[in-house]
Amino acid sequence: WWRPENLIDSLVSELRERVKEGRVLVAVSGGVDSTVTAVLLQRAVGDRLLAVLVDHGFFREGEVEETVRILKSAGIEPLVIDAREEFFEAVRGVSDPEEKRKRIGEMFARIFQRIVKENPDIRYLAQGTLYPDVIESGAAPGADRIKSHHNVGGLPSWLGLEVIEPLREFYKDEVRRLALALGLPHELAFRHPFPGPGLAVRIIGEVTREKLEIVRKASRIVEDELRRAGLYERVWQAFAVVGDDRWVGVKGDRREEGHIVIVRIVESDDGMTADWTRVPYEVLDRISRRITAEVPGVTMVAYAVTTKPPATIEPQ
Ligand code: XMP
């Protein structure tokens, strides 16, 4: 395997070579891919990098603050754009998964267009696209399109920017090693992947404020309990999903209908295939008890036991 230090040097000098003049826009999300992309560019072009964090409102509890903190510690001061209301409006009433992704992608494009208009010296757009993203979005020759990952080719060419994807030949485990070699914190390097459209694709059916609150809180509980059990870094992803189905519950002596939360915990090497994790029953029990006790409006917790394929990892 390659030595990370040598690889970093060559990636940085390639980027420096490529970005002759003008500035580079990079959208950071707090994930390892976009953070590594931003740090590589920062080393290559310094303050000609403009890092933007678009807060679409579909992040987990406390996530935006955490991301800003990590980026700052890596010497990157991101411009945070609060677009929570705009995104919520954009997906209001939409339940079709691809339509939801499309609307979110368009909203990102509109925001980037605005930024580019205000900063005419921006020439490039850097993205943390990985090799599996290239394949799954059908960008590789002969590949079928499974889901429109918004971060691959989703931004329209009329933005007029040259796209730079320094990680498009790498797999996730390689990017994690790069992150460590770049001196990024361990917790960042081993963070689970998180989809570009965020929790919006973990809400089946229409995105409502109630369902958004449920996934935000339930996701936090799933991650906390896995960390407590020492399992967080052994799994690929662990999250909560909510839809519109209801289950009758009892509260005291009252009958009350509530939402069903589906917990999905999977193992995978690269996201292309996945197996559900045989989590100890006690851990599932704690997750279930905490979600029904701490998240208002939930009466049932179910565990997803289907591999990929035939299911995908995310519900949408
Ligand atoms: P699926 O659900 O297709 O997901 O089995 C495979 C992996 O990709 C992640 N994923 C995304 N990542 N933008 C991303 O950056 C997206 O739009 C997106 N959709 C899915 C997913 O979390 C899983 O790890």
Q: For a substitution probing ligand 1, which of 108, 127, 147, 219 has the most ligand atoms within 8 Å of its CB? A: 147
Number of domains in the chain: 2
pLDDT band at 160 (very low <50, low <70, confident <90, very high): confident
Q: What are the structure tokens assigned to 302, written together?
A: 């179910």
Q: Is the dihedral of CA 33, 37, 38, 43 positive or negative?
A: positive
pLDDT score, position 289: 98
Which among 192, 258, 254, 244 has a CA at the least distance from the CA of 219? 192
Residue 309 maps to a domain: no
CA angle 207, 259, 278 (to 5 degrees): 100
Whole-number Å distance, alpha carbon 316 to ligand 1 midpoint, is: 9
Q: Does 312 contact ligand 1 (Cβ within 6 A)?
A: yes
- Model confidence at 293, pLDDT cuts 50, 70, 90, reads very high
> In this structure, are strands 298-303 and 254-267 parallel, antiparallel, or unpaired?
parallel
Q: Verify that 60 and 91 share a domain, yes or no.
A: yes
Q: What percent of the chain has pLDDT over 90?
A: 85
Tell me the C-alpha distance between 75 and 237, whole Å: 28
pLDDT in tens, 194-215: 999 999 999 999 999 999 999 9
Task: Please indicate, yes or no, if residue 195 is contained in any of the structural domains.
Answer: no
In a domain, 197, yes or no: no
Asked whether residue 186 carries a pLDDT value surpassing 90, the answer given is yes
34 vs 47: CA distance, rounded Å: 17
Q: Is the peptide bond before 120 cis (omega within 30 degrees of 0)?
A: no
Question: Is ligand 1 within 6 A of the CB of residue 192?
Answer: no
How does pLDDT run across 233-270, given as a tens digit for each residue?
Answer: 999 999 999 999 999 999 888 999 999 999 999 999 98
Final residue of a domain: which of 189, 211, 227?
A: 189
pTM: predicted TM-score of the whole model, two decimal places:
0.90
Distance (angstroms) between ligand 1 centre and the Cα of 46 equals 30
Half-sphere exposure of 183 (CA within 13 A, CB side): 8
In 3D, which of 151, 126, 123 has the Cα closest to residue 137? 151
CB of 202 shorter than 6 A to ligand 1 = no
Residue (of 260, 238, 234, 239) closest to 249 by Cα position: 260
Please report where in the chains the tokens 């990102």 appear, as a residue. 108
Residue 38 has pLDDT above 80, yes or no: yes
Tell me, what's the pLDDT at 144?
A: 56
Q: Is residue 248 part of a domain?
A: yes
Show binding-site residues for ATP.
29-35
pLDDT category of residue 151 using cuts at 50, 70 and 90? low
Q: How far is the CA of 163 from the centre of ligand 1 (A)?
A: 20
Nearest to 263 by CA among 276, 251, 254, 250: 276
Q: Which atom of ligand 1 is found nearest the CA of 146?
A: 3
Is 250 within a domain?
yes
Is there a single domain that holds both residue 61 and residue 112?
yes
Full domain range(s) for residue 34: 4-189
User: What is the three-class DSSP state of 79?
Assistant: strand
147 CA distance to ligand 1 middle (Å): 8
- In terms of domains, do 180 and 34 share one? yes
For atom 17 of ligand 1, the residue with the nearest CA is 149
- On whether both 225 and 136 belong to a single domain, the answer is no
CATH code (residue 210) = 3.30.300.10
- Give the residue ranges of DSSP H helices in the chain: 4-18, 32-45, 63-73, 84-91, 97-118, 131-136, 172-181, 186-189, 209-228, 281-294
pLDDT at 149 over 70: no
- Tokens 């030595």, residue? 3
pLDDT band at 286 (very low <50, low <70, confident <90, very high): very high
**For the residues 44-61, what does the mean pLDDT come to?**
96
**11 C-beta neighbours (distance < 10 Å), count:** 20
Q: Which of 154, 189, 224 is the last residue of a domain?
A: 189
Whole-number percent of the chain with pLDDT over 70:
94
Domain-embedded: residue 156: yes
Q: How far is CA 302 from CA 242, 245, 258, 305, in A?
A: 10, 12, 13, 9
Mean pLDDT of 181-192: 95
Q: Are residues 237 and 294 in the same domain?
A: yes
Q: Predicted confidence band at 153 (pLDDT cuts at 50, 70, 90)?
A: low
- pLDDT band at 61; cut points 50, 70, 90: confident
Whether residues 83 and 214 fall in one domain: no
Give the separation between CA 176 and CA 252, rounded to whole angstroms: 48
pLDDT of residue 107 exceeding 60, the answer is yes
Mean pLDDT over the full length of the chain:
93
Contact of 212 with 240, CB cutoff 8 Å: no
Please indicate whether residue 152 or residue 121 has the higher confidence score (pLDDT): 121
- What order do you get walking across the sheet with 162-164 strand by strand? 79-82, 49-55, 23-27, 122-126, 162-164
Tell me if 258 CB under 6 Å of ligand 1: no
Which residue CA neighbors atom 6 of ligand 1 most closely?
A: 271
Specify the residue with its C-alpha closest to ligand 1, atom 20: 195
Residues annotated within the binding site are 29-35
15: how many CB neighbours lie within 10 A of its CB? 21
